Chains A and B, each alone.
Chain A
Amino acid sequence: MRLVAATLYALRIPFVESFSHSAAERRWSDSVVVRVRDDAGTEGYGEGTARSYVTGETVEMMLAHLADELWPRVADRELPAVDDLDAIGKFLPETELDGVIAPHASRAALELAVLDCALRRAGRPLASVLPPRRNRVTYSGVITGGPVARAVQLARQMRTIGLTAIKLKVGSDDDVARVTAVREALGPEASLRLDVNGAWSFDRAVEVLNAVAHLGIAAVEQPLPRGAIRELAGLRHATTIPIMVDESLVTRSDADELIAAGAADLFNVRISKCGGLAPSLAIASAAIAAGLGVQVGSQVGETAILSAAGRHLAAALPAVAFVEGSFGTLLLAEDVSIESVRFGHRGRGRARAHGGGMTCEGCCDTRSRPGSGSITGPSRRRPAIRKTRRPEFSSDSFAPARIPCSVANTGSRRSDRPPSMRGECRSETTRRSGRTSVGSCAVSREC
């Protein structure tokens, strides 16, 4: 089995409401979706989310890195056996990219696509490689930054839909009032943790954490900026609230350093941030072996593809403290899959064990809106990538396109349902055995 073609899609799906924290405000998703095809015509889909403040990647960087560095190293190579997740992980090279911590979102997108393709070719579900240890995963809600009144309103809404674990974004002057008000709105039973996104100084961290400790805080995530490992270790001794690392934890060497320094009680493992399913599993396993707790986290705005992969990971780990993601259409105006991977009441999502590939069947809207897209791929900057004619569709073309992507079990069902994803694919790059094309589209016809 050899990979013979890849297509990149830069998605830009509007959020139903903006999401903010101390590091960024976001109104749409910035995902890069990779579709690969093997020599038998089997396709697989993967996704990575560019975050300049996490791995350092932007969408444009991802498109270029995937097209010029990662894809050429896997194209036309024989894939390893599908039942060896570690070997699939190692099939992808470790690459570097100037100015970023690690090009992990790019790597994750390709790794998931390769894995999905290999599994589908073999007619096996991901669960056969990564068996679930639980039937159900329970997700947390996340309260965005913004005014305290809005945080309280969101807390009430989350209580109404039965969420029992909540993460609250903090990192501004009103942190103590914010935490106090949200705890009051949630009631004493809910599990409440904080996410600072590295916005505090050591002294501010001690001040706030001491002030809110009596409110029953389950953990505080990334209280200090990335790189402050010694300070993190010191903070662990200065507060009773468990410390979780996120932005500090991108690579396997980060994990080893953090464990060695005793700098964290919990790791936030996110598939896009950590470079794919295999490296995420390795980091989570190292954490568990070292006695740390693990949160399976997500990037805001992940589509069903990463949500699916995250659910598999969360279901497969021997122990998981918290799980985030699978917000689906709670956050995205529309998602890419036919079958929803969104969690339901009480934050519950089923772990699924059947179907082919990562097992979620989806489709994407293939609307073309000439002129509304913008080419952000590498074609404008590098003549090595040849810009070709526009994809073959017109403004009234709605052709269904299925993403046999990643998680929810739909068995072997194929669907001729109409496309369901709106949003904007800002660019599309296709490479086939040395020939690469880039098209500008609303949502790619190739998809």
Chain B
Amino acid sequence: MDNGHGTLRSTIESCFARQVASFTTSAEFLALETGSGGSGQYDAFLENVARAHLRSPQLLAFLYALAPPSAAQDLRENLLEELGLDESGGRPHPDLLRDLLVRAGLGGRLATVEARADEDLRRIVVEPLLYGTLRDVGLAALTEIVAFEYMLSRVSGRIARALAEHRGLPAPALEWFTHHSEVDIRHAEQGLDDLEAYVRYYEFADDEALTIVEMTLRENVFARRYFRDFVATNAAGGRR
């Protein structure tokens, strides 16, 4: 369906692309990639990545509960993969993140990072809801998950190279990043389909859905999660 800015899917994808561009051109990302950041910045980045994704299985489980029939299979497969229970027999993704920290010499920080991830999850639950329905909350959550898949499919390889080169991390430590650079190309495409399916199943008007997408992305969600003290300069996620 055309909403005057292109199809809903293409409009959302454009929002994601702008977010990725904003993220990869941020001073923080450039410092990471060029090696101009100090070792403390790399350590903080690694902790922030782990904090952002350690509880992804819980979020995926929530989304699976809300999934429209046509998207339920994708979300279930994502959830099982995240838990290391899919057919590929891969390791649970949270374990890859734990490995990342341990191999980076940050094992002593693991308990704190886990606690912070728990706290982030708790806050999501206890904060007053901005939206009036679970339908809207679910769209916001799905948007964020798919946005990360979209970004990781395009950027995680670059991040892995930067961490190997400037932080000296060996390939096994970087498996979480390399895994996402491979599988999230497929996930991101599926995710965009699932987002559209969700919007249609729950009968959002396009403008209504796009407004929630914009609200979810408005703070440059990647920079906010990975560089915790990122200072916003403008809103990068909106329709243009």
Whether B215 sits at the interface, judged by CB under 8 Å, is yes
Whether A90 sits at the interface, judged by CB under 8 Å, is no
Q: Inside 8 A of A396's CB, which chain B residues have their CB?
A: 108-109
- Docked complex: B102-138 residues within 8 A CB-CB of A: 108-109, 112, 115-116, 118-119, 122-123, 126-132, 136
In the bound complex, what is the Cα–Cα distance between A17 and B234 (angstroms)?
6
Whether A153 sits at the interface, judged by CB under 8 Å, is yes
Using CB atoms, name the residue of chain B closest to A15.
Answer: B232
Least distance between B234 CB and chain A CB atoms (Å): 7
Whether A210 sits at the interface, judged by CB under 8 Å, is no
In the bound complex, what is the Cα–Cα distance between A15 and B234 (angstroms)?
10
Whether A103 sits at the interface, judged by CB under 8 Å, is no
The stretch that binds B, out of A38-46, A155-163, A235-243, A244-252, is A155-163
The stretch that binds B, out of A114-122, A264-272, A312-320, A419-427, is A419-427
Whether A83 sits at the interface, judged by CB under 8 Å, is no
Whether A134 sits at the interface, judged by CB under 8 Å, is no
In the bound complex, what is the Cα–Cα distance between A341 and B229 (angstroms)?
21
- Docked complex: B187-240 residues within 8 A CB-CB of A: 207-208, 211-212, 214-215, 218-219, 224, 228-235, 238-239
Least distance between A305 CB and chain B CB atoms (Å): 17
Whether B4 sits at the interface, judged by CB under 8 Å, is no
Question: Which of these, B118, B119, B128, contacts A345 with CB under 8 Å?
Answer: B128
In the bound complex, what is the Cα–Cα distance between A340 and B129 (angstroms)?
11
- Whether A14 touches B231, Cβ cut-off 8 Å, given contacts A369-B40, A398-B112, A418-B115, is yes
Contacting pair A345 B127 (CB below 8 A): no
Interface string of A135-176 (1 = CB under 8 A from B): 000000000000000100100110011100000000000000
Contacting pair B232 A17 (CB below 8 A): yes
Whether A339 sits at the interface, judged by CB under 8 Å, is yes
Whether A386 sits at the interface, judged by CB under 8 Å, is no
Using CB atoms, name the residue of chain A closest to B236.
Answer: A17
Least distance between A7 CB and chain B CB atoms (Å): 22
In the bound complex, what is the Cα–Cα distance between A349 and B109 (angstroms)?
36
Q: Inside 8 A of B218's CB, which chain A residues have their CB?
A: 16-17, 157
Interface string of A53-75 (1 = CB under 8 A from B): 00000000000000000000000
Least distance between A137 CB and chain B CB atoms (Å): 12
- Docked complex: A414-439 residues within 8 A CB-CB of B: 417-418, 420, 422-424
Contacting pair A395 B40 (CB below 8 A): yes
In the bound complex, what is the Cα–Cα distance between A343 and B207 (angstroms)?
24
Whether A27 sits at the interface, judged by CB under 8 Å, is yes
Interface string of A6-49 (1 = CB under 8 A from B): 00000000111110000000011000000000000000000000
Contacting pair B231 A27 (CB below 8 A): yes
Contacting pair A160 B215 (CB below 8 A): yes
Q: Inside 8 A of A15's CB, which chain B residues have their CB?
A: 231-232
Whether A344 sits at the interface, judged by CB under 8 Å, is yes
Using CB atoms, name the residue of chain B closest to A416.
Answer: B115
In the bound complex, what is the Cα–Cα distance between A348 and B132 (angstroms)?
12
Question: Which of these, B109, B129, B232, contacts A344 with CB under 8 Å?
Answer: B129
Contacting pair A16 B224 (CB below 8 A): yes
Q: Inside 8 A of B233's CB, which chain A residues have their CB?
A: 18, 27
A-side interface mostly: mixed
Contacting pair B234 A160 (CB below 8 A): no
Question: Which of these, B119, B128, B136, B228, contacts A349 with CB under 8 Å?
Answer: B128
Size class of the contact patch on chain B: 35 or more
Whether A342 sits at the interface, judged by CB under 8 Å, is yes
- Whether A340 touches B215, Cβ cut-off 8 Å, given contacts A14-B229, A153-B239, is no
Contacting pair A339 B234 (CB below 8 A): no
Contacting pair A420 B123 (CB below 8 A): yes
Using CB atoms, name the residue of chain B closest to A157.
Answer: B215
Least distance between A352 CB and chain B CB atoms (Å): 12
Least distance between A334 CB and chain B CB atoms (Å): 8
In the bound complex, what is the Cα–Cα distance between A346 and B132 (angstroms)?
8
In the bound complex, what is the Cα–Cα distance between A160 and B212 (angstroms)?
8
Whether A233 sits at the interface, judged by CB under 8 Å, is no
In the bound complex, what is the Cα–Cα distance between A58 and B132 (angstroms)?
39
Question: Which of these, B127, B131, B232, B238, contacts A18 with CB under 8 Å?
Answer: B232
Whether A329 sits at the interface, judged by CB under 8 Å, is yes
In the bound complex, what is the Cα–Cα distance between A342 and B130 (angstroms)?
9
Q: Inside 8 A of A286's CB, which chain B residues have their CB?
A: none
Contacting pair A344 B128 (CB below 8 A): yes
Using CB atoms, name the residue of chain A closest to B40.
Answer: A395
Whether A208 sits at the interface, judged by CB under 8 Å, is no
Contacting pair A153 B129 (CB below 8 A): no
Contacting pair B219 A17 (CB below 8 A): yes
Q: Inside 8 A of A328's CB, which chain B residues have their CB?
A: 127
Q: Inside 8 A of B128's CB, which chain A residues have their CB?
A: 340, 342-345, 348-349
List 14 extra interface pairs beyond A16-B232, A330-B130, CB under 8 A.
A28-B231, A150-B238, A153-B238, A157-B218, A160-B211, A161-B130, A162-B132, A333-B229, A333-B230, A343-B128, A345-B128, A346-B132, A417-B119, A418-B119
Interface residues of B (CB under 8 A from A): 40, 108-109, 112, 115-116, 118-119, 122-123, 126-132, 136, 207-208, 211-212, 214-215, 218-219, 224, 228-235, 238-239
3 tightest A-B CB contacts, nearest first = A344-B128, A16-B219, A418-B115
24 A-B pairs with C-beta separation under 8 A:
A15-B232, A16-B218, A16-B224, A17-B232, A18-B232, A18-B234, A153-B211, A156-B207, A157-B215, A157-B218, A160-B136, A161-B131, A328-B127, A340-B123, A344-B127, A344-B130, A345-B132, A346-B132, A349-B128, A395-B40, A417-B119, A418-B118, A420-B119, A424-B229
